[in-house]
């Protein structure tokens, strides 16, 4: 199963892979070079297919939990001053996605979208200290029953050149449903109330919609 954001790219890559293979078979007489080009076409297609995969998940839905919005590795846990929406200290949990991770972004909590904004910006590497403020990004805030307003921010990285955000202000959303997609990138930050009990630690591997970041 593949995410809808990948359909066009998958189709283009499939056409290119078939064209490369046919051209190599027809025009190149050297067996090793022909085989190498055909293998390159197959590898290119496989990489694109795995990047846009969207496996079915048994979602961990509960108003007492905040779930991870994406697959990846927990790289930041710290109290920071969040100045775009809250203008106060919040507990930041950041998850870094490698190119081999599933890149669907999911809502960490259920509730009403109270804020959704896109910011154009740079494409610094995702672990750069200023990437959360200077990179291309989207900020989404969902008002939840037990955690209040929970902010998650998609951040593009050095490879990510396209952020897709489905959240619209006033929309009612369910926990674990699609919030967006980051094509070829890279990091999502979650901002929680200071003092929230976390269920993860640095370097933990998490899965979107199933791994619990925090609980009541």
Q: Which residues are catalytic?
A: 186
Q: Looking at the DSSP assignment, which residues form a beta bridge with residue 173?
A: 111
Structure tokens that stand for 11 in this block: 């189709």
Q: Where are the beta strands (DSSP E) in the chain?
A: 65-67, 72-82, 88-96, 104-106, 111-119, 137-144, 148-155, 162-165, 172-173, 178-183, 187-192, 197-198, 205-206, 212-215
Say how many residues make up the chain: 216
CA atoms in the 13 A half-sphere facing the CB of 98 = 7
Please calculate the CA angle 79-80-83 and round it to the nearest 5 degrees: 150
CA-based Rg of the chain, rounded to a whole angstrom? 19
Closest CA to 60 of 203, 205, 207: 207
Angle at which helix 7-27 crosses helix 31-51, to 10 degrees, equals 170
For residues 179 and 63, the answer to whether their CB atoms sit within 8 Å is no
Where on the phi/psi map is residue 104: left (φ > 0), alpha (ψ -120 to 50), or beta? Answer: beta
């Amino acid at each position: 199963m593949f995410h809808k954001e990948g359909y066009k790219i998958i189709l283009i890559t499939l056409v290119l892979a078939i064209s490369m293979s046919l051209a190599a078979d027809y025009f190149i007489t050297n067996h090793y070079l022909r085989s190498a080009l055909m293998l390159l076409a197959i590898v290119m297609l496989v990489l694109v297919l795995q990047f846009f995969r969207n496996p079915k998940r048994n979602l961990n839905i509960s108003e007492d939990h905040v779930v991870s919005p994406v697959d990846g590795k927990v790289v930041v846990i710290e109290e920071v001053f969040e100045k775009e929406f809250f203008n106060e200290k919040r507990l930041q949990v950041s998850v870094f996605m490698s190119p081999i991770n599933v890149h669907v972004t999911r809502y960490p909590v259920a509730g009403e979208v109270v804020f959704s904004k896109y910011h154009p910006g740079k494409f610094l590497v995702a672990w750069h200290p200023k990437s959360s403020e200077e990179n291309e990004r989207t900020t989404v805030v969902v008002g939840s029953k037990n955690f209040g307003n929970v902010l998650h921010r998609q951040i593009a990285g050095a490879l990510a050149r396209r952020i897709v955000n489905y959240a619209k202000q006033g929309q009612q959303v369910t926990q674990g449903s699609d919030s967006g997609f980051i094509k070829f990138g890279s990091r999502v930050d979650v901002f929680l109330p200071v003092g929230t009990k976390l269920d993860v630690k640095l370097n933990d591997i998490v899965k979107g919609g199933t791994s619990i970041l925090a609980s009541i």
